[in-house]
């Protein structure tokens, strides 16, 4: 007894079905391989993630640090004068929401006023309160001069060298004051901030750098 002959049309349809399945499964496997290789490359930092955003972690609690008192100046017995804006080197970092160009906006205002803005970028830690000005023992006058541009800003001394200061735009940031409201005059001495402590009595925090930025101690 012989087997009935198979329908050629059915055989052809079955062959085409198998071919389509082979193509679909091949594409899926190839996609998974490419996806896996891409994930491995991103994980090993071979390439940058196309959706990467800076990772922000809460910063150490330094908001209770007292500001440093202004240094004494033998040439200015009545008190130290503000720095010329172009003598204040400042770096501006977004320590709030990386989705918004907060550092760039502040940089534009400060540059228009004549400050020597050295760099902008994102800060690795989140500053949950007002914006902060971080400075070293040599940059106290610079920090006070910059702080006068804002209605609400905190001064935090760290262990940096040099006179360059960093402005960290915090979650509770405020815009720079209008130029006519800045409480500075070139011929009037600066006033110590309330509750200030001599720099020698402060325990400076460890300096942190903006993401991908090299130290600037000038």
Beta strands in 50-203 (DSSP E): 57-58, 89-94, 116-122, 125-126, 131-135, 153-157, 165-169
For the residues 60-86, what does the mean pLDDT come to? 85
Residues 117 and 186 placed together within one structural domain of the fold? yes
Residues 46 and 74 placed together within one structural domain of the fold? no
First to last CA, the chain: 100
Residues 102 and 186 placed together within one structural domain of the fold? yes
Residues 73 and 156 placed together within one structural domain of the fold? yes
Residue 22 inside a domain? The answer is: yes
For the residues 196-206, what does the mean pLDDT come to? 95
What percentage of the chain reaches a pLDDT higher than 90? Answer: 53
Domain with 67 in it: 57-201
Identify the residue whose tokens are 């400076």.
Answer: 204
Q: What's the pLDDT tens digit per position in 89-105?
A: 999 999 998 788 889 88
Q: What's the pLDDT tens digit per position in 124-150?
A: 888 989 999 999 999 999 999 999 999
Residues 12 and 101 placed together within one structural domain of the fold? no
Residues 90 and 169 placed together within one structural domain of the fold? yes
Give me the number of domains the chain comprises.
2
Closest CA to 194 of 139, 141, 137, 155: 155
Residues 101 and 30 placed together within one structural domain of the fold? no
Residues 69 and 169 placed together within one structural domain of the fold? yes
Question: What is the C-alpha to C-alpha distance for residues 138 and 218, in angstroms, rounded to an integer?
Answer: 10
């Amino acid at each position: 007894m012989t087997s009935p002959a198979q329908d050629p049309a059915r055989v052809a349809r079955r062959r085409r079905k198998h071919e389509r399945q082979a193509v679909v499964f091949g594409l899926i496997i190839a996609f998974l391989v490419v996806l896996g290789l891409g994930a491995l490359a991103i994980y090993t930092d071979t390439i940058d993630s196309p959706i990467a955003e800076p990772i922000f972690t809460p910063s150490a609690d330094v908001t209770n640090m007292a500001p440093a008192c202004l240094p004494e100046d033998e040439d200015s017995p009545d008190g130290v004068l503000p720095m010329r804006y172009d003598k204040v080197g400042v770096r501006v970092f977004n320590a709030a929401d990386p989705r918004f160009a907060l550092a760039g906006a502040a940089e534009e205002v400060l540059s228009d006023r004549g400050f020597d803005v050295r760099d902008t970028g994102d800060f690795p830690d989140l500053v949950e309160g007002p914006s902060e000005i971080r400075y070293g023992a040599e940059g106290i006058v610079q920090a006070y001069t910059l702080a006068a541009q804002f209605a609400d800003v905190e001064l935090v001394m760290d262990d940096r060298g040099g006179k360059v200061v960093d402005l960290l735009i915090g979650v509770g940031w405020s815009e720079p004051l209008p130029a006519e409201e800045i409480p500075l005059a070139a011929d009037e001495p600066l006033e110590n901030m309330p509750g200030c402590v001599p720099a020698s009595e402060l325990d400076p925090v460890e300096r942190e750098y903006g993401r991908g930025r090299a130290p600037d101690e000038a």
